Amino acid sequence: MVAVLTKTEGVALYIQVRESLRKQIEKRLLEPGQKLPSEDELATQFGVSRMTVRQGITDLIDEGVLYRRRGVGTFVAQFHIERDHNRLSNFFETAQAEGFEAEIQVLVREVVPAKLMVAKALGLYETEPVIRIQSLRLANGIPLTIYDEYVPYKLCHELLQKDLSSQPAWLFLESYGYKVKRAVQKIEARLADAEMAGLLEMEEGTPILYKQRIVLAEDGTPVEFILCYNRGDRYSVKTTLVR
């Protein structure tokens, strides 16, 4: 499975070990959750020392590609989707950039009276009609995120008939003249309840990354309010901090 390495000038042996393991993971020769051979076995297969193997493995652990369970061994980590929260992007853009096959399953599409939290976020009166769209987002067939989206009914009632399996609601709103400019959001840790756990195929009480987002048009009009529940073991957030 592993070729003996060559002493290529300028490329350290531990780097060759690291990149060989990475390629095996990328090609699915090593599957998520699979246990790696022991360091001694890998050292024999690669034709290097155990310390060299350990150094290459440590780099992959630091990246989150592998993880170690004390007294058990080293395993291939489950893949993550990393969202860049410095810009407003959609799920398909992120998945495509990271090489995942994206899918959206619309679970609920209905007109409901705005609850207090939704009304405040969208600048509406309480009980004013809003379109609610609940969807499940998957990458490579694995459920990652539950979206609960709310859009003022008066802005775009045609949204009830649109195909939302390939793009988010706010992109349709732009075609109706509501050019999206920015979004305000907050993120916090929560625990999955029974309904979320069932949809996300995880155990009840497992940590999730909860997000609230208000999407705003160029003139400051709130056009969408989103409640988002992300699997904590498959989803990560990247931001850039400037001082």
Instruction: Identify the CATH number of the domain in which residue 188 sits.
Output: 3.40.1410.10
User: Is residue 166 within 8 Å of 104, Cβ to Cβ?
Assistant: yes
Whether residue 1 is predicted with pLDDT greater than 60 in this model: the reply is no
pLDDT: which is higher, 31 or 214: 214
What is the phi/psi pair of residue 37, to 5°? -60, 160
Mean pLDDT for the chain overall: 83
Judgement on whether residues 187 and 200 belong to the same structural domain of the protein: yes
Whether residue 185 is predicted with pLDDT greater than 60 in this model: the reply is yes
* Banded pLDDT at 93 (limits 50, 70, 90): low
Task: List CB contacts of 69: < 8 A, sequence separation 6 or more.
Answer: 75
* Banded pLDDT at 92 (limits 50, 70, 90): low
Residue that finishes a domain, picked among 51, 76, 101: 76
Task: List CB contacts of 46: < 8 A, sequence separation 6 or more.
Answer: 2, 3, 4, 5, 13, 16, 17, 20, 52, 53
pLDDT of the residue at 88: 65
pLDDT of the residue at 102: 78
Judgement on whether residues 53 and 114 belong to the same structural domain of the protein: no
What is the mean predicted confidence (pLDDT) over 78-83? 65
| Mode of pairing for the β-strands spanning 235-238 and 81-84 | parallel
pLDDT of the residue at 116: 92
pLDDT of the residue at 146: 93
What is the phi/psi pair of residue 67, to 5°? -145, 155
Judgement on whether residues 39 and 104 belong to the same structural domain of the protein: no
Whether residue 154 is predicted with pLDDT greater than 70 in this model: the reply is yes
What is the mean predicted confidence (pLDDT) over 9-29? 83
Least confident of 84-98, 125-139, 144-158, 198-212: 84-98
- Tell me, yes or no, whether 3 lies in a domain: no
Number of independent structural domains in the chain:
2
User: Structural domain of residue 162, as residue ranges?
Assistant: 81-238
3-state helix, strand, coil in the chain (%, to 5): 30, 35, 35
Judgement on whether residues 86 and 58 belong to the same structural domain of the protein: no
For the segment 25-70, what is each residue's pLDDT rounded down to a tens digit? Answer: 878 788 877 889 999 999 888 888 899 999 989 888 887 788 888 8
pLDDT of the residue at 127: 93
